Amino acid sequence: MSGHSLLVIGSANADLVTAVDRHPAAGETVLGSDLDTHPGGKGANQAVAAARLGARTALLARVGDDAHGRLLLESQRAAGVDTSGVRVGGAPTGVALIAVGPSGDNTIVVSPGANHRLSPQDVASAGELLAAAEVVSLQLEIPPETVAASVRAAAAARTRVVLNPSPPAPLPPDVLAACDPLVLNEHEAEYLLGATADGRSPAEWAEALLALGPRSVVVTLGASGALVATPGTSHHVPAPPVEAVDTTGAGDAFTGALAWRLSLGDSLEQAARFAVRVAATSVTRRGAQTSYPTAADLT
């Protein structure tokens, strides 16, 4: 595929999922359901979410030369993602260990594997992919130096940057300054703001996050939707009411949909209104990529 509008740079994992009656406390063992294996990883999830909606999407990632890596490549190609940027080898494919509770909430432990071998050199060698994109979407399940190299390359190409700081980590000022938007949930916002987040509303978080340098901010609020903020303005975008069965990958569905709609020229608020519908639909189904809707599912 050529002429993609969205390039996702990030992680690709095999999700090993079990359902539990309750999440264990420290030192405790609980029994789970039979183990399911699904394609996942924040980068791979975002690419599939956008492609299933109709986006022309490419993925820059790294997987192992193993069964999990083949699963991931097959799932990307089945969704219509350009996988010419997926590097193979260097380490086993990353794995996410996911426990899903009865209300659809989850806990996740990630073994990064090949994701931590995605390098700035890989980004440099994918210059044509990046230059062709209207938007590049990133997360933090790959090395921080690779994220920084990707953002700087995007800025040089005048490509819009969407960044989800998950799992949360400190970000260099020039990386923050390129984010348009910075997309993060409540936990990630609290991490970046530290003690200054205590007792403040999401709107106040967004204002404080903008002060850190990003051009715009989207705070995702789960069943409450999202808050969209630019300097001097903020808007709450409600989510449609649904019965959640599994929230795994919902944030990635939101971000992938948001990034795609931005690549088409939507305003940030318009893109967020579309993205909350995508995320809400995804939580009504089990799994991450397997839960992502097509455009027809939203009509």
Token pair recorded at residue 147: 């994220």
Contact 33, 18 (CB under 8 A): yes
- Residue ranges making up the domain that contains 239: 6-11+41-90+115-298
Please give the Cα distance from 96 to 110 (Å, whole number).
4
Could you please report the per-residue DSSP string of 71-123?
Answer: HHHHHHHHHT-EEEEEEE-SSPPEEEEEEE-TTS-EEEEEE-GGGGG--HHHH
User: What pLDDT score does 68 carry?
Assistant: 97
Please report whether residue 32 resides in a domain: no
Please give the Cα distance from 249 to 264 (Å, whole number).
23
Please report whether residue 34 resides in a domain: no
Selected catalytic residue, list 21, 122, 252, 266: 252
Number of domains observed in the structure of the chain:
1
Please report whether residue 245 resides in a domain: yes
Binding residue ranges for ATP: 185, 220-225, 251-252
Q: pLDDT tens across 154-186, in order? A: 999 999 999 999 999 999 999 999 999 999 999
Please report whether residue 105 resides in a domain: no
Please report whether residue 28 resides in a domain: no
Decide if pLDDT at 140 tops 80: yes
Q: pLDDT tens across 38-75, in order? A: 899 999 999 999 999 999 999 999 999 999 999 999 99
Binding residue ranges for K(+): 246, 248, 282, 285, 287, 291
Please report whether residue 35 resides in a domain: no
Q: What is the pTM of this model?
A: 0.91
Please report whether residue 19 resides in a domain: no
User: What pLDDT score does 4 carry?
Assistant: 81
In the structure, what pLDDT confidence band is assigned to residue 3 with cuts at 50, 70 and 90?
A: low
Binding residue ranges for substrate: 13-15, 41-45, 141, 252
User: What pLDDT score does 286 carry?
Assistant: 84
User: What pLDDT score does 196 carry?
Assistant: 78
b/e map of 176-209 (b: 16 or more CB within 10 Å)?
Answer: bbbbbbbbbbeebbbbbbeeebeeeebeebbbbb
Give me the CATH number covering residue 57: 3.40.1190.20
Q: Verify whether residue 252 is a known catalytic residue.
A: yes
Q: Which is nearest to 119 in space by CA: 175, 68, 62, 45?
A: 62
Please give the Cα distance from 184 to 220 (Å, whole number).
6
